[in-house]
Amino acid sequence: MARQDWIVGGDRRAAATERIYTAAAEMLLRDGLDALDIDSLAEHVHCSRATIYRYAGGKAQIRDAVLLRIAAGITDTVRTEVEGLTGSHRVVTAIVVALQQIRSDPIRRLMMTSSTAPALSDLHSSPMLSALAAELTGNADDDPAAALWIVHVVLSLAYLPLGDERIEAEILHRFISPAFEPQLARTSIGSVEDARRR
């Protein structure tokens, strides 16, 4: 009797990886980030542990890959929603959209509440950080400090929500907008320098 192949046709590596990550996302949603188990995952996708390791890596790599896919989805949505916007309006809208995305998806919410979710201090090395930062700020001038600050604002509000979206929007407009209005930023810098001279 001929053996039935686990992955049929096309790009075997891409198909296998997609199948493993999809199953891992389902398991993470059902059991939580802390409960991801290679044996259970292999059973879920009807393959061996070796196949999981060959195509997707170990537990940490699989978890990180699923989280990166989530981050990529947020980035794509933000890019669509802020198309044509500029300046502070673009940045505030991007933050609001990113927060809505994080809060609306069960796996994204899980990511924010799990003990194995990345700490804010660990996100500096994330391969998605620069892409997410660029989408949030729309910063063509490559201002890494501004981009990093905006990402921390989003992650801080995701981990510690204010509970009232109206108050949150007011705070974003009040404190984020001035930082991305060139005239206001120059005035603020000039005021600080003037104060130092006195």
The rounded distance, in Å, linking the Cα atoms of 10 and 3 is: 18
71-110 burial, b if ≥16 CB within 10 A, otherwise e? beebbebbbebbeeeeebebbbbbbbbbbebbeeeebbeb
Q: Is 179 helix (H, G, I), strand (E, B) or coil?
A: helix
- The pLDDT, as a whole number, for residue 5 is 55
The more confidently predicted of residues 187 and 136 is 136
- At residue 13, what is the residue type? R
Structural fold of domain 12-57: Arc Repressor Mutant, subunit A (1.10.10)
Lookup result for tokens 């604002």: 153
Among 71, 136, 63, 79, which Cα is nearest to 102's?
71
pLDDT digit string, tens, across residues 65-81:
887 787 788 888 888 99
Share of residues in the chain with pLDDT > 90 (%)? 18
Do the Cβ atoms of 96 and 173 come closer than 8 Å? no
pLDDT digit string, tens, across residues 124-166:
555 556 666 667 767 545 677 777 788 788 888 888 888 888 8
pLDDT digit string, tens, across residues 32-51:
777 789 999 999 999 999 99
pLDDT digit string, tens, across residues 103-120:
887 766 666 655 555 544
> Domain residue spans in the chain?
12-57, 65-197
Altogether, the residues listed in the chain come to a count of: 198
- Give the predicted TM-score (pTM) of the model: 0.68
Lookup: tokens for 133? 């930062």
Averaged pLDDT, 14-20: 89
Mark out the alpha helices in the chain (DSSP H runs): 12-31, 38-45, 49-56, 59-81, 87-104, 106-113, 129-137, 144-159, 165-175, 182-197
Among 51, 70, 42, which Cα is nearest to 13's?
51
Do the Cβ atoms of 61 and 17 come closer than 8 Å? no
